Chain A
Amino acid sequence: MTTIGERSSYVSGLGQSAVGRNLGRTEMSLTVEAITNAIADAGLRPSDIDGLVTYPAGGNGTAKGGFGGPSANAVQDAMGLRLDYYSGSSDGAAQLQALVTACMAVATGLARHVVIYRTVTESTAQTASGRRGLSLGDTELDGEMQYRLPYGALSATTWLAPLAQYHMDRFGLTREQLGQIAVVSRANAQLTPYALMRGRPMTMDDYLAARMISTPLSLFDCDIPCDASTALVISHVDTAADCPHVPVQINALGTASWGRPSWDQYEDLASFPGRGPAEHMWQRTDLTKDDVDSAHIYDGFSIIVNLWLEALGFCGTGESGAFLEGGKRISRDGELPMNTNGGQLSGGRLHGFGHLHEAALQLRGEAGERQLPRQPEVSVVTNGAGSTVGCALLTRGLA
């Protein structure tokens, strides 16, 4: 067996800032709040932290774009940290690359307690400058965007919707089946204190009546921009005895990129680049899909969930519609509870880190009102959808 170095790491601390719309906060303020909470949750002090990793870094400010979040350097300075390792990148296994990098820092001994964080202020930014596509006012486009934006393919919606249309046409996926993702997520959000859609239940009829954004994806197939920062402390397992919580171990990571990493040039558009990391992850563990007790699946758009469910092997290619039928299977009391915090569709676009945070919280058994009735022992987390994708398998306790 190859070395599974990620098992040197576990989640020791969880931190969440305020989550909301137009909070009137800076990205740094939210970030420091989340990190401070995570460090305290781990029973540590800021002076114990020797590693800091973010996704994607290179923030362009709270009000412009609101996508990047502050760099590790900036946060180091703001919090007076003394770091042996720091990094930030948008390349790699999507948002989970921050976790991957932290595990590598821990496994190599470069650091022992690594904070990872993801900060978004997209709600504030889009209120300040309007909700718009990725051209962001550019009049000339180079790189890969030169091929997309001139045609009005301006947002990820327009890149994902063809995959949804293809699933509908070729495999018979129905809007009602796809809608279960949004409807179940909305139900879960009713139990989540920070969820943007708490207090606003939604029926399948509501879903079906929503306006189209890019056919066949409607408003409720798209996630909701918010302001928030999410942080976790990733520590070496040698320190687990000092952790005030049940340690949540990183059992396996999936970081592969095996096909053309592209929204439209991937070899088989019935599938997507998540196939690589999914298979990679299963190669690195003796656990199987049947061991998974909860799934925290990236849902920037609903159809991404279908693609991940198929990539992870929970169902065959083209069978995700049947898998979702009726919604029972993915509900809190179903065989594969999914996106138990409401996901990004109803909780808010915490951008990958919300899924990671929720998986760890459920594995600890500390999810409060929304704690799953059957305590999960194994959870899967996926991030990303198009050119960058990654996944991770987490376990309750150390193997």
Chain B
Amino acid sequence: MTTTAARPAAPPRPLPDEDSREYWAALREHRITLQACTSCNRRRFPATPSCPYCAHPEWSEEEAAGTGTVYSYIVVHRAFDAAFAADVPYTVATVDLDGGGRMVARMDTTPAIGARVAPDFVDHPEWTELRFRDQETA
């Protein structure tokens, strides 16, 4: 079975909104910014107008180095969208950033759980995608 070809073979792109605009704009500049609560100091992802850990409504934008540790990962063998058909198999990792914040993003290699990773920035025509690379195999 194949996916339908009714759509252009480009990945769907994110539509930045009031909450996410800062994150996507920073990625465009190859920077990672996350909200950090000014009360409990925890970083959070994705962006929300109040803290999911303590409900405090104020935050600061904090720049993350983007290094972190692989919490878990998968290898996608089955593309459910034609835009990704040429990419399979590909790896998607769950990464805990140093300093806080858990991200899900693609990797070009398949890591081990616990592997140290660093950020990569992949520019698409209208947006920039965060990926991670294994620091040991890079």
Contact = CB atoms under 8 A, between A and B. Distances in A.
A147 B104 contact: yes
Interface string B93-115: 01000000010111000001100
B56 interface: no
A215 B104 contact: no
Contacts of B2: 130
Interface string B62-79: 000000000111111111
Nearest to B104: A264
Interface in B14-54: 14-17, 20, 45-46, 52
A149 B52 contact: no
B12 A169 contact: no
Nearest to A134: B80
A152 interface: yes
A142 B47 CA distance: 12
Interface string A133-174: 111011111101011111111110110011101100110000
A74 interface: no
B4 interface: yes
Interface residues of B, number: 45
B94 A146 contact: no
Interface string B118-138: 000000000101000000000
Nearest to A267: B53
A374 interface: no
Contacts of B77: 211-215
Contacts of A213: 77-78
A165 B17 CA distance: 33
A129 interface: yes
A150 B11 contact: yes
Interface centre among B3, B89, B127 (most CB of A within 10 A): B3
A260 B71 contact: no
A83 interface: no
A134 B81 CA distance: 9
Given A139-B13, A163-B72, A260 B52 contact: yes
B52 to A, nearest CB: 6
A150 B13 contact: yes
Contacts of A169: 72, 112-113
B87 interface: yes
Contacts of B102: 264-265
A395 to B, nearest CB: 37
B3 A132 contact: yes
Contacts of A138: 12
A152 B106 contact: yes
B94 A264 contact: yes
Contacts of A134: 80
A289 interface: no
A171 to B, nearest CB: 12
A82 interface: no
Contact of A150 (B1, B14, B72): B14
Contacts of B129: 150-151
Contact of A165 (B1, B72, B80, B90): B72
A214 B80 contact: no
A135 B15 CA distance: 13
Contacts of A212: 75, 77-78, 89
A165 B2 CA distance: 26
Nearest to B47: A147
Contact of A140 (B15, B45, B92): B15
A131 interface: yes
Contact of A162 (B14, B72, B84, B112): B72
B17 A142 contact: yes
A99 B127 CA distance: 43
A163 B72 CA distance: 7
Contacts of A315: none
A269 interface: yes
Contacts of B87: 152
A146 B20 contact: yes
Contacts of A152: 11, 76, 79, 81, 83-84, 87, 90, 92, 106
Given A155-B80, A213-B77, A214-B78, 13 more contacts: A130-B1, A130-B4, A134-B80, A135-B12, A135-B81, A147-B20, A147-B46, A148-B104, A149-B12, A152-B79, A152-B90, A158-B92, A215-B89
25 contacts: A131-B3, A132-B3, A139-B7, A139-B8, A139-B10, A139-B13, A141-B13, A146-B17, A147-B14, A149-B11, A149-B12, A150-B12, A152-B84, A152-B106, A153-B76, A162-B73, A169-B72, A169-B113, A212-B75, A214-B75, A215-B74, A215-B89, A216-B74, A265-B45, A269-B94
